[in-house]
Amino acid sequence: MHGNDSGRTAENHETVVVGAGLVGVVTALYLAPRFGPVTLLEKREAPRPDPGSRGRSLTVMLSARGWRVLSDLGVADAVRGICVPLYGRCGHPPDGRARVTPYSRDEQPIWSVERERLHRILLDAAEATPGVRLRFGQRVRSVDLDDPAVLVEDRHGRHRLRCRRILGCDGAHSATRAALEARGARAEVRKLELAYQEIDVPGGWLDRRTMHYWPTGDAMFAAFPMPSGDFSGSLFMRLDGPAPSYAAVGGGRDLYETFAAHFPEPAAAIPDIAGQLASRSVSTLSVVRCDRWVWQDAFALLGDSCHAMAPFMGHGMNCGFEDARVLVDCLDATVDWAAGLAAYEKSRTEDAEAISRLSYRHYFTMANPPREETPADVLRGRLLTLFPDRFSSLYEQCAFTEESYASVLRGDRRLDRLVADLLDRHGTDLASAPEDRVRACTTSFTTGTATLEDSGCS
Ligand SMILES: Cc1cc2nc3c(=O)[nH]c(=O)nc-3n(C[C@H](O)[C@H](O)[C@H](O)COP(=O)(O)OP(=O)(O)OC[C@H]3O[C@@H](n4cnc5c(N)ncnc54)[C@H](O)[C@@H]3O)c2cc1C
């Protein structure tokens, strides 16, 4: 730590969680009842009492993994009250033919929630939980892993806070991650080529049972229903490079004209779109990879600090919540924190890598107008329908199950291979063959030299 750290040395705080974002608060809520006092340090000042008054907030999707955590923590009912169920995504391609892709085959919804309101519920729960101390205006500058402590800066200056263990939940631009890097961890923070602006979208012209997106290949606009009846929109466009990009278009009138040319329907429906485009800040997106997440019995990273990902599958927060749940499961299973933290790291890194890949890939599915289906696409879709007990879509498994993301990805690749093998053996006509032939070919293939299980498609 730096020379002028000496300042105040506060009492020994059992566990310090750095960052009171969504994942930090969830982590504190899990830990305090099991392992004693938790001090949550947040660099921002306390949030406003009524987040609704802000009028605008990013909307995030809650899936089964997120709900599992919210129900473990006793806040699921409160959160359900501010959510909107979504049954699919409705694409509005340039040809004007809107198409709905259901999220699940049995009409299960995922849930859209304003991030600020969800955060407020979690903060209220933390304030009401014995053992959780929430401190705002506390910026952690560095972490000492040898003699566990954090160096904190607040309006009184810098001071050192001793503790037994530190959990870094301080987001993509994490300061705590540097402590692991100093011990040889390799971290990569990459700014995505995409940037976005949040846009308010009035309701009344869009079906509220789905999210909506306008893919153009070059840029995408998306809108999510909110409980108020309005929608929260996001414009995604490349940050740099040839038009359309934020750099090439600049702001003001040119940005509005680009928007209107690419998205005529939303441009007509949002009365103050020109003003919003001119005034709303452009946010960048970063992805984070880190090959080590823990240090002995003293330190662990969770959430965006170790796996910030592209937002297009809607899993960054869900995955971060799952980190916290798996962490306490691992710690519950042993009295040895070093073993618990090592088990946590082993269990999560491959999963985070898998969902990060899927999230980035999903942007291209959503941003591009639907292409002509290939025989492989058609046969894949038919296998999902004909063998519902054996095959599920990747999206469904990520959103509606708690199966490991890595195993979902492996299963999806095996399904790709099965489809390719079937088309090789039986020709591309199989994709449009009658149902009994598809069934027979699939069953004979999978019960002959190989089985569905061998193909990894069960
Ligand atoms: C456009 C967009 C759409 C998204 N949609 C979805 C979705 O649909 N579903 C989903 O699951 N996820 C979604 N996400 C991702 C989700 O928002 C993040 O994964 C989640 O917010 C990460 O939470 P976190 O607590 O790890 O990090 P953060 O939310 O970044 O919180 C980190 C906290 O740490 C504090 N902090 C930082 N540095 C310090 C420091 N040095 N000292 C003290 N405090 C510090 C910060 O102020 C902040 O409060 C989306 C993200 C974006 C950008």
Tens digit of each residue's pLDDT (9 = 90 or more) over 375-416:
999 999 999 999 988 888 999 999 999 999 999 999 999 999
183 in Cβ contact with 145 (< 8 Å) = yes
Mean pLDDT of 144-156: 96
206: exposed, middle or buried (Cβ count in 10 Å: 0-12, 13-18, 19+): buried
Q: What is the pTM of this model?
A: 0.93
**HEC profile of 89-156:** EEECCCCCCCEEEECCCCCCCEEEEEHHHHHHHHHHHHHCCCCEEEECCCEEEEEECCCCEEEEEECC
266 lines ligand 1 (CB under 6 A): no
Position 12 scores a pLDDT of 63
pLDDT in tens, 38-95: 999 999 998 766 544 444 578 999 999 999 999 999 999 999 999 999 999 999 998 8
287 lines ligand 1 (CB under 6 A): no
151 in Cβ contact with 178 (< 8 Å) = no
68 lines ligand 1 (CB under 6 A): no
The protein residue with its alpha carbon nearest to ligand 1, atom 1, reads 311
Atom from ligand 1 closest to the CA of residue 172:
30
What spacing in Å lies between the alpha carbon of 336 and ligand 1's midpoint? 30
| Residue among 194, 210, 224, 269 at smallest CA distance from 259 | 269
The protein residue with its alpha carbon nearest to ligand 1, atom 20, reads 317
The domain segmentation of the chain, as residue ranges, is 12-48+57-354, 375-446
220 lines ligand 1 (CB under 6 A): no
CA distance 17 to 15: 7
412 lines ligand 1 (CB under 6 A): no
What spacing in Å lies between the alpha carbon of 20 and ligand 1's midpoint? 9
Atom from ligand 1 closest to the CA of residue 318:
11
pLDDT band at residue 457 using 50, 70 and 90 as cut-offs: very low
- Stretch among 198-212, 378-392, 433-447 having the lowest mean pLDDT: 433-447
By most ligand atoms within 8 Å of CB, the mutation choice from 27, 60, 110, 150 for ligand 1 is 60
pLDDT band at residue 366 using 50, 70 and 90 as cut-offs: confident
316 in Cβ contact with 323 (< 8 Å) = no
Number of CB atoms found within 10 A of residue 7's CB: 14
Candidates 3.40.50.2000, 3.40.50.261, 3.50.50.60, 3.30.565.60; CATH matching 12-48+57-354: 3.50.50.60
More confident residue, 308 or 8: 308
121 lines ligand 1 (CB under 6 A): no
What spacing in Å lies between the alpha carbon of 58 and ligand 1's midpoint? 11
pLDDT band at residue 251 using 50, 70 and 90 as cut-offs: confident
pLDDT in tens, 234-243: 999 999 998 8
In the block, residue with structure tokens 């979902």 = 408
